[in-house]
Each structure stands twice: as C-alpha cells, then as structure tokens.
Amino acid sequence: MLIRRHGDIRSSEITPADVYAQRRAFLKAAAAAGVGAALSGPAAALVAPAGQRDAIAGVVETPHGRGLELTDYEFVTQYNNFYEFGTDKADPAENAHTLRTRPWNVVVDGECEAPGEIGIEDILTGFTQEERIYRLRCVEAWAMVVPWIGFPLGDLLRRFKPTSRANYVRFETLLDPEQMPGQRRAILDWPYREGLRMDEAMHPLTILATGLYGEVLPNQNGAPLRLVVPWKYGFKSIKSIVRISFVHGVPETTWWRMAPDEYGFYANVNPSVDHPRWSQARHRVLGEGLFSRKHETPMFNGYADQVAHLYKDMDLRKFY
C-alpha cells in the first residue's frame, strides 16, 4: 500500500512563515478588537471572522498544522455539507440560525461505569481548549484547512469510564425538525449517526471541536460541539452532537446505511480507493481559482505517520 508522508504536501499549500504570522496577528487583532475586516470588491472573501460570535477564552496554541495556509473564514463557514439545514452547500449558512445551542447537553451512555450528561458550558471550561489547524478532506474531493478550537475526544471519554466491553463509540446529532428543517424530509435516516473504533476515538488527533477561527462554532459548522477526525473523510466528523455511546460491535452509521458500497465505516482518506462515482486521487482546495491545479490527496490526508499503525494488518480496499 502506498503511504505518503507529510513531506508530500505540495509546497503551494504552505504559505511562507511571514504571511502566516501576519495572518495570525491579523486574526488576533480582529478578535481582540471585535471587528473583522472584509476586503472590498466582489472577489474578496472574508478571511477572518467579523467578530459577531463569542471568542473562546484561554485557547492554547499548539504546533498542529503550523505552516498550513488557512482557508478563508468565509469559505469555511459558507460552504458546508450539513443536510439537516438543506442539501446545497450554501443552505446551512442561510438556514442554521434556527438551531438553539444554549442550553445544550450531551448524554454519554452505554458500556461505561459512569454514564451521565455534560453541558456545553462545562465542556468549554472543563477541558483545555486548544487551537489545532487541520486539513479537512471531503469525500466529494474538495478540501479546506480549518483552525479548529477543541480538545481531545479521549479526555472526555475517559471521564465516563468505558468498560472493557466498549470497543466502539457511537455519536448522534440532535433530532429536532423544528430546529433542523432539513429533517422534515427523509433525505437521510435521521438522526445523523457516526462511529469510531475505540482506538480511533482515543487517538490524540481526534478532537471534539467547540470553535473555529478563535470563536465558538457557527451553527452551520456543527455548533456547539462536533467531532473532527482529520484523517477521515469529512462526513465522519459528525456535527451538533447530543449523544455519545460506548458500544460493543460496529455501530450503524448514516451514510453507510444510505449507500454501503459508497461510504464505508472507516472512511479513511485513501487516494487509491475510488468512490464509485469519482476518483479520490486528487482534490481541490477551497478558495483556489477555477484554473488552479488539483492537489494529490495524500494517504490518510497527510496524517499517515500518526495513524497508519491503527490499520496495520487491514485490507483498506475491503475496509474502506
């Protein structure tokens, strides 16, 4: 099997350090002043938040993704797959205002010694919020780079003391057609469900995100709490989570149910296993021009050195 390493990321995906530093300084200034700066002209995307959402306090910087060029805030927040708010990429940004993210509780249950519930405020204050810049590769062959705020999923899971029977974790999105108008039509089998193997869930790269670009998550990005698993296709990173269950055996997941030959349980980014309708060998990076070249998709989305060992003896053509 072909395994590409970090070094294979095209240099055009990486900005010179000074540009990066400039952008960070700009972000900080924008957040601090509570103002964003949109460039003028039709082509100018909003590169940073306009300060309309609450900033997350006490965010710790980390080395994750340092040097990657961030996708403009506007694209990160206005080009979303979140069928609960419509199937067009622009729909979630338009419709997700109906979602109420406070109060918000997450039930943690199943094969564990201390099942319970945790509120979003406790999540925000009870876990060190880190900034992690990750690549996100969608199964539809486009990608972006997002500065998430979040914390390792494992830190939360351990609090609920999973038993030895728990070998998978199952996640569930809110089910409420009042707040999520897309759920009024049976496009998918609502509520959206996802799952991870226990070692994937406990992997230090796997995070629960509470924000992006320094602020709390916009509703269309899965507020107030979503999963981010950077080496898997985006649909694994379930949004607006209300329930996390420790289970024994592979949980049934939404897209797998919908089309098992197209969306496997693992859904690891893999350039050598095609989707039946398109190749996964290359992708577009959001925000690049119409005539820009596609990028080669690296194995495990460029995180192979950290996660390849999880799948050491598995046939990834079979377990796609």
Partner 1 sequence: MDRPEHAFPWRRFVAKPLLFGAALIPFGLLVHGAAVGDLGANPLERVTHTTGDWGLRFLLLTLAMTPLRQLTAWSGWLTFRRMLGLFAFFYVSLHFLTWIWLDQELRWANMLADIAKRPFVTVGFVAWLLLLPLALTSTRAMMRRLGRHWKRLHRTVYAVAVLGVLHFLWLVKADLLEPLIYAAVLFVLLLVRWRPGLLKRPPLSTRALDAR
Residues that bind partner 1 (CB under 8 A): 41-43, 74-75, 78-79, 83, 87, 89, 142, 144, 185, 187-188, 258, 276-279, 284, 286-287, 289-291, 293-294
CA distance 71 to 105: 30
Cβ contacts of 136 within 8 Å, gap of 6 or more: 143, 144, 145, 146, 228, 230, 234, 237
Identify any residues that bridge with 282 across adjacent strands, giving them in sequence order.
296
State which residue, 42 or 103, has the beta carbon closest to partner 1. 42
Q: Least distance in Å: CB of 170 to partner 1?
A: 21
Look at residues 120, 125, 78, 98 and name the one whose alpha carbon lies nearest to residue 221.
Answer: 78
Q: Which two tokens stand for residue 70?
A: 């961030």
State which residue, 84 or 200, has the beta carbon closest to partner 1. 84
Tokens 């109060």 locate to 103
State which residue, 66 or 185, has the beta carbon closest to partner 1. 185
State which residue, 78 or 306, has the beta carbon closest to partner 1. 78
Q: Least distance in Å: CB of 72 to partner 1?
A: 8
State which residue, 47 or 205, has the beta carbon closest to partner 1. 47
Identify any residues that bridge with 208 across adjacent strands, giving them in sequence order.
151, 227
Q: Least distance in Å: CB of 278 to partner 1?
A: 7
CA distance 199 to 229: 12
Say if residues 110 and 163 touch (Cβ distance below 8 Å). Answer: no
Q: Least distance in Å: CB of 87 to partner 1?
A: 4
State which residue, 71 or 129, has the beta carbon closest to partner 1. 71
Q: Least distance in Å: CB of 33 to partner 1?
A: 26
Find the length of the chain. Answer: 320
Q: Least distance in Å: CB of 305 to partner 1?
A: 28
Q: Which two tokens stand for residue 211?
A: 């924000």
